[in-house]
Amino acid sequence: MGKQGTKIVGIDVGDLIKDLNKAYCDEWLAYYAYWYMAKTVTGKGYEDISEFLAKIAKEEEEHAGELADRIQELGGLPLANPIELEKNANAPYPKPPKDTADYDKIIKVVLDAEAGAIEVYNKLAEKTKDKDHATYQLIGHILSEEIKHEDMFEDLLE
Ligand SMILES: [Fe+2]
Ligand SMILES: [Fe+2]
């Protein structure tokens, strides 16, 4: 990042890069789990839930990309090795259920992951508010999409 762009950040930049990298890991784990469940879900009316999962998977991948860009603007690098994703994430891998037709479990996996993401981004928003406008804006954008994801899947619960 440009010198001035880093200088105006009012919190420890190394710390912030670490936080953003943890969220970056969460995003890839969510992406993989959602993508996988979208591909493998079976049962009656599976197309709808598959479509929903594919849609949010795509958004998690976008979040990973946006975080990677911001990490680099701040002078860092996103995690290079996928084997280290879970170890460096905020939460464990949102593990798809063995039964590919168990919608309730699939929905629970998504809702747990989204609740975790909402908490992480809310904390990051509080941390960057009035300190780092660029990161704050990005986090607000991601947070609003995580809130939408939770809402979408909550609506699927009967
Ligand atoms: Fe996300
Ligand atoms: Fe999400």
Distance 60 CA to ligand 1 centre (A): 4
Which superfamily, per CATH, for 9-154? Ferritin, core subunit, four-helix bundle (1.20.1260.10)
User: Cα of 139 to ligand 2 centre, how many Å?
Assistant: 13
The pLDDT assigned to 6 comes to 85
Cα–ligand 1 centroid distance for 22 (angstroms): 12
In the structure, ligand 2 is a single-atom ion and the residues with CB under 5 Å from it are 146, 149
pLDDT tens digits along 10-54: 999 999 999 999 999 999 999 999 999 999 999 998 999 999 999
- 59 alpha carbon – ligand 2 mean position (Å): 7
| pLDDT tens by residue, 63-119 | 999 999 999 999 999 999 999 999 999 999 999 999 999 999 999 999 999 999 999
* pLDDT recorded at residue 5: 87
Measured in angstroms, how far is the CA atom of residue 47 from the centroid of ligand 1?
Answer: 22
Q: How confident is the model at residue 1 (pLDDT cuts 50, 70, 90)?
A: low
Instruction: Pick the ligand that lies closest to the CA of residue 64.
Output: 1
pLDDT at 33: 98
Nearest alpha carbon to residue 24 among 75, 66, 83, 76 = 66
Q: Where are the domains of the chain?
A: 9-154
Q: What is the pLDDT of residue 80?
A: 98
Q: How far apart are CA 87 and CA 141, in angstroms?
A: 26
| DSSP code string of the chain | --HHHHHT--S-HHHHHHHHHHHHHHHHHHHHHHHHHHHH--STTHHHHHHHHHHHHHHHHHHHHHHHHHHHHTT------GGGHHHHSSS---PPPSSTT-HHHHHHHHHHHHHHHHHHHHHHHHHHTTT-HHHHHHHHHHHHHHHHHHHHHHTT--
Are 91 and 24 in contact, with CB atoms under 8 Å apart? no
User: Is the full-model pTM beyond 0.85?
Assistant: yes
CA of 54 to the centre of ligand 1 (A): 13
Q: Indicate the average pLDDT of the chain.
A: 96
- What's the pLDDT score for residue 62? 98
Better pLDDT: 136 or 4:
136
* Mean pLDDT, range 132-147, rounded to an integer: 98
